[in-house]
Chains A and B, each alone.
Chain A
Amino acid sequence: MTANARENILSRLRAITMQGSFVVPEAPIIAGLMLSREERIDRLRRMLETMHAEVRAVAADGWIEELKALLRSRSLNGLLYAPATPLGAALEAAWEEGLPPLVPYTAPVEECREQLFTIDAGITSTRGAIAESGALILWPSVAEPRLMSLTPGLHIAVLEADEVFNTFAEAMERQGWAKGMPTNALLISGPSKTADIELTLTFGVHGPKELVVLIRF
């Protein structure tokens, strides 16, 4: 009965058997990274590229053309996207022949597992990025579900240049994470990788094999 276990555990934790205090040392104040916008973006780019992500700076009004060029240069069986987002709507409006079909993710995973696990590419928005560690922030949602950035072989992430934070702590603070966390919040710093065999780093394991980040200015 876990209720008993709960009571037993908590009462044991409350019953300190020994005299003697457990000192909590003061944490030093560490000045966080404070970079200019240009420096933040530059650092983010360098770190993503070190982790084998591809980073492209795109103009706010030219990003779709950039995306199309990227897609045309590969043979992809489809592009998973979220229709109920501004990103999705923009894609729908601009789509044309000769591009991989736009595949909406609008049914529960139970109904489209096969497709989700075999589609070649997916595109998602982001909720900003962190310069210090080189990571994108994603908050999957009803409109843009979790598997979109996980199952496709190629993940394309659209990042607003204005939303690059210095540090994880800064991002959490400015975006008010403590006020309410989503079902799932993610930091993504590159394509999936492993070093489990002789500590040799290789890319493309269970998550996407490729990550392309479009930074919109």
Chain B
Amino acid sequence: MAKTKDVAIFERNVAKALGDGQLRRNLRSAMATLSQRRRTLFADAEAFEQLRAQGQSIRRRALSQLPELLEQLEQRCTANGVQVHWAETTTEANAIVLDIVRRHGATRVIKGKSMVSEEMHLNHFLEEQGIEALETDLGEYIIQLDGETPSHIIVPAIHKNKDQIAHLFHERIPDAPYTEVVEELNAIARQELRGKFRAGEVGISGVNFAVAETGTLCLVENEGNGRMCTTAPPVHIALMGLEKVVEKLQDVPPLLRLLTGSATGQPITTYFNMITTPRRPGELDGPREVHLVILDNGRSGIYADPERRTTLQCIRCGACLNHCPIYTRLGGHAYGHVYPGPIGSILTPQLEGLNEAGVMATASTFCGACEEVCPVKIPFTGILRMLRNEAYASTESEHDVKGHGYRYTTVEALSWKSWSLYNTSPALSRIGIRVLSRIVQHLPMIGPLKEWTRTRTPPPFAPKTLHELAHQRGLDDDR
């Protein structure tokens, strides 16, 4: 049975990630730390349940009126002097950014962290157009130096330890001494980036929440680079996925608490930056132009299906990654797409199509650790199961995910048919298990049994089944 492309690629990535002992050690330590910090902050389980019920309600209320709220957001932003652009695809979004940059004759942009910009492959696009795109978030800066993409939504360089970073800085930053002291590494980065903030011509950021009521763009950060990028240059471009809108200002405090608490166990980040207008008359600093780019890139397709729409509740906290036993072993790069972990596994097949990323939906044991911590109660296992159903579907379905049925094979369908026949026919089951247990040691190690016995002793089929033993004890009937 030929493997589909996404399965083959993932298999190679998995082998590479699992074979990297340093990566596994780094990840294990990091995930343990992040989950511990979150647990400490949300020590009161009942309070957390209440807070996240609130978070779920707020996000669903926003999603239940998404087109209206987006229009309201646009109207308010426009009235505030913010220029709103819409992009159906990442190609369109990149073109919008390029156009703004060119109009200002800029050749250098400075960037705060933005996962949407990763989705756009913006840096690569700009560089091809001769425009330098410099990451200013420390984690993003580190991976940019190393020519990598982020491996985690919140802590982009989490897969690296400090001596890897020490080597990197020493090699790639002019005049940087070799040091493994974290404070010193930070100081090197601070020094290096200070000048860039001064000289930045266009600042680019993401958006954590966009408030429709007031047209306010909200950003969380700890370092100050986000404020730098959105205050120092004359132009600020904010990039957002269309699902990031919330209805009113009062929706922000619970979501903020859930976001910072779930991401890193903090009650709040160092800065919470709320931007409503460009520089007003008389003001001495701030960008003269603020642009908001609203990106679709497949989200409206997800929106159309009320069950799948819950995917869009996500506030990008990363808690699901931090608690996922699969992510803990693989790290973000092995997933091969922009968003890894549980959120990546439900989002990517829906955005890119099952043929491209359906395998991500199989990289789960349905352990439920993600669902347990999700601050907006996304039903991960339900959506993963649906995506698997879509992947193997042989008939049309109302969900109709892109790439529907891509993994259907007659062999597998027949296997499950025989499985269900076997399990609905008591006579067959009785014979079957008896035969199986007697011949199992003689069976060629093929298929599932072969995989199993590569790393485990074979299943210990018992001489008598529970059915037989129970029957012997006369437990068959209701007497």
Could you list which residues of chain A lie within 8 angstroms of chain B, going by C-beta atoms? Answer: 2-3, 5-6, 8-10, 12-28, 30, 47, 51, 105-109, 113, 117, 132-135, 141-142, 145-147, 150, 167-169, 172-173, 177-178, 180-200, 202, 204-208
Contact = CB atoms under 8 A, between A and B. Distances in A.
Contacts of A142: 280, 282-284
Interface string B199-236: 00000000000000111100000111101100110000
B225 A206 contact: yes
Contact of A199 (B158, B214, B254): B158
A135 B272 contact: yes
Nearest to A6: B86
B224 A150 contact: yes
Contacts of A133: 257, 267-268
Which of the listed residues B165, B194, B253, B273 has the most CB atoms from chain A within 10 Å of its own CB? B253
B53 A183 contact: no
A9 B398 contact: no
B223 A193 contact: yes
A188 B271 contact: yes
Nearest to A180: B214
Contacts of B96: 2
24 contacts: A2-B87, A2-B96, A18-B306, A20-B306, A20-B307, A30-B50, A108-B284, A132-B267, A133-B268, A142-B280, A168-B252, A172-B249, A172-B250, A173-B250, A183-B280, A183-B283, A183-B286, A184-B231, A184-B276, A197-B165, A204-B187, A205-B138, A206-B193, A207-B270
A30 B85 CA distance: 37
B176 to A, nearest CB: 14
Q: Which 4 interchain pairs have the tightest Cβ spacing?
A: A207-B224, A27-B57, A206-B224, A196-B139
Given A107-B284, A184-B231, A202-B182, A5 B66 contact: no
B418 interface: no
Interface in B227-266: 227-228, 231-232, 242, 248-250, 252-254, 256-257, 264
Given A2-B85, A147-B231, A186-B273, 11 more contacts: A9-B88, A13-B66, A16-B304, A19-B398, A135-B272, A172-B253, A180-B214, A189-B269, A196-B139, A199-B30, A206-B136
Contacts of A3: 86
Nearest to A22: B306
A195 B304 CA distance: 39
B277 to A, nearest CB: 5
Contacts of B278: 183
Contacts of B138: 194, 196-197, 205
Given A12-B300, A107-B284, A196-B155, A25 B50 contact: no
Nearest to B139: A196
Interface in B113-128: none
A191 B47 CA distance: 29
B242 to A, nearest CB: 7
B434 to A, nearest CB: 45
B183 interface: yes
Contacts of A107: 284
Interface residues of B, number: 104
Nearest to B58: A27
B382 interface: no
A186 B66 CA distance: 27
B223 A183 contact: no
Contact of B227 (A150, A195, A200): A150
B277 A206 contact: no
Contacts of B157: 196-197
A189 B266 CA distance: 11
Contact of B216 (A28, A181, A202, A208): A181
Given A13-B70, A133-B268, A199 B34 contact: yes
A150 B264 contact: no
A207 B275 contact: no
Nearest to B99: A2
A146 to B, nearest CB: 5
A186 B270 contact: no
Given A23-B60, A27-B58, A168 B253 contact: yes
Given A109-B232, A133-B267, A182 B284 contact: no
Contacts of A177: 214, 249
A197 to B, nearest CB: 5
Contacts of B63: 22
